[in-house]
Structure formats: structure tokens, C-alpha cells
Amino acid sequence: MDGAPIVQRYPRTNALRDGTLVDVTETGREAGFKVPVAITAAVQDQCVRWTEEDARRKPRIHQDEDGRLWDVLWMGACRSREIARSGRHASTALFQVIVVPRPGHGRQRLRTLKLFIGPGDAGETVATIMLPDDS
């Protein structure tokens, strides 16, 4: 399929509206991003979400969604700055973050995520954090 024409492009605004992407720009700016940031629903579910039920199930693990989101965004922003300092012009980069999974015994695990920096719907620079196999 390389070189095949794009039949339909799914606008970022639609993805934000339907929940495929979650806008985290405000916290992203606090973490060091200079551009609008979104995370995929999969990253939200697997790396950020932490419910009251999770807290009851794992009382010795002190987690909340704000802290989990901060960890994802901070590590993504650190990776972005590292690339900028290196002088490389990469649009995608992998980075890792420690995440306590919601199911199971609660042992923290290193998760690899992908940072994409590229054009938004109007050509503006935006950042998206996703799972490594997402596009």
C-alpha cells in the first residue's frame, strides 16, 4: 500500500470530539510542551485512568489520574526536549513511563509510548501521545 493515495483523512478535531483523542493541552503546557497535546483513548485507558474502585482494590498504591497523566506528559515532554537538543528532526519518538496497571497485582511496569509531533488540521504543530503500534 506504500504510495497509495489517501482515500479519507480523519481530522484531529473529529477525533477530539468523538473521544478517540483526549485533549490534555493545559497539563501538557505545565509539563513543558509548547504545542497542543492530545493522548489517545488507549493511552487514557491503559496509562492514565485510575478509578475509586482501583484505589480500593490496591490501597497500598497511591495513584490518581492527575499524577498518572503528569507522568505520561512529563516523560513525553522530556523526550521531545531531548530530540530538540540533539538537532534531529524526528516526527515520532518512543519514550517510556512507569505505570501501575489497573488489573492484576499492581506491580509497576515500564510502558513504551510513542510521541508524534506533526501538523494539525490547519497545519499548526501538535503533539499526540499514543501506544507504539498506533498510527
In a domain, 63, yes or no: yes
pLDDT at residue 7, rounded to an integer: 52
In the predicted model, what is the mean pLDDT of residues 99-112? 86
Q: What distance lies between CA 44 and its chain's CA centroid?
A: 8
Confidence of residue 8 (pLDDT cuts 50, 70, 90): low
In a domain, 106, yes or no: yes
pLDDT at residue 30, rounded to an integer: 98
Confidence check: pLDDT of 3 > 70: no
In a domain, 1, yes or no: no
Over the range 124-135, which residues count as b (16 or more CB within 10 Å of their CB) and which as e? Answer: eebbbbbeeeee
And the C-alpha cell for 51?
Answer: 478509578
Query: Cβ contacts of residue 3 below 8 Å, gap of 6+?
Result: none
pLDDT at residue 131, rounded to an integer: 98
**pLDDT digit string, tens, across residues 40-94:** 999 999 999 999 998 888 888 889 999 999 999 999 999 999 888 887 777 899 9
In 19-93, which ranges are continuous DSSP H helix?
Answer: 25-31, 41-43, 52-57, 65-86
Residues linked to residue 112 through DSSP beta bridges, in sequence order: 96
In a domain, 70, yes or no: yes
Give 106 or 57, the one with higher predicted confidence: 57
Burial class (CB in 10 A: 0-12, 13-18, 19+), 106: middle
In a domain, 3, yes or no: no
In the predicted model, what is the mean pLDDT of residues 5-23? 85
Instruction: Please state, rounded to an integer, the average pLDDT across all residues of the chain.
Output: 90
Cα separation, 101 vs 110, in Å, equals: 10
Domain enclosing residue 46, as ranges: 12-130
In a domain, 2, yes or no: no
pLDDT at residue 113, rounded to an integer: 98
In a domain, 19, yes or no: yes
In the predicted model, what is the mean pLDDT of residues 98-116? 89
Domain count, the chain: 1
In a domain, 7, yes or no: no
